[in-house]
Amino acid sequence: MDNRTYSELVLLGTYDERLEYLMLEGVELSSPRAMSQSFYKSKQWKAIRESIIKRDFGCEIGILGIYIYGPIYVHHMNPITEVDIDNNDPKLYDPENLISVSLNTHNIIHYRTIAPEPYVERSAGDTKLW
């Protein structure tokens, strides 16, 4: 799926629903560092980044009330490529393509590093190691 939008995202109520919507299974961060570093240091990017964080109140996936502790990442919902950066494609700065996330959520979106833990029914004596 390469047509995720902020307008569609905010219609989803819960963190899990929004995370599922944003999942990029197998799509890793791929643009070369030399290229992406200059992009992420550009004035245009810094300005849009700040406006997106303000729009989202600095909250996780735009859910008001779920604060981000630590650095705030502004994530491109539809992955960008070297060609996009080279051409200064409008989707780099499109607010419909951007959302504030935490590092943890960003890693889950790209790499799914944390699998949801299955629910385990508690039982008497389950704290014993052996």
Cβ distance 1 to 18 under 8 Å? no
Is 22 or 74 the residue whose CB approaches other proteins more closely? 74
Is 11 or 35 the residue whose CB approaches other proteins more closely? 11
Phi, psi of 15 (to 5 degrees): -60, -45
Residue 103's identity, in one-letter code, is L
Taking the complex as a whole, the smallest distance from the CB of residue 130 to other proteins amounts, in Å, to 41
Which residues form the interface with other proteins (CB under 8 A)?
Answer: 50, 53-55, 57-59, 64-65, 67-72
Taking the complex as a whole, the smallest distance from the CB of residue 57 to other proteins amounts, in Å, to 5
Is 27 or 66 the residue whose CB approaches other proteins more closely? 66
Taking the complex as a whole, the smallest distance from the CB of residue 54 to other proteins amounts, in Å, to 5
Tokens standing for 123?
């039982």
Q: Tokens 């409008």, residue?
A: 90
How many alpha carbons fall within 13 Å on the CB side of residue 76? 21
Taking the complex as a whole, the smallest distance from the CB of residue 103 to other proteins amounts, in Å, to 12
Tokens standing for 127?
């704290």
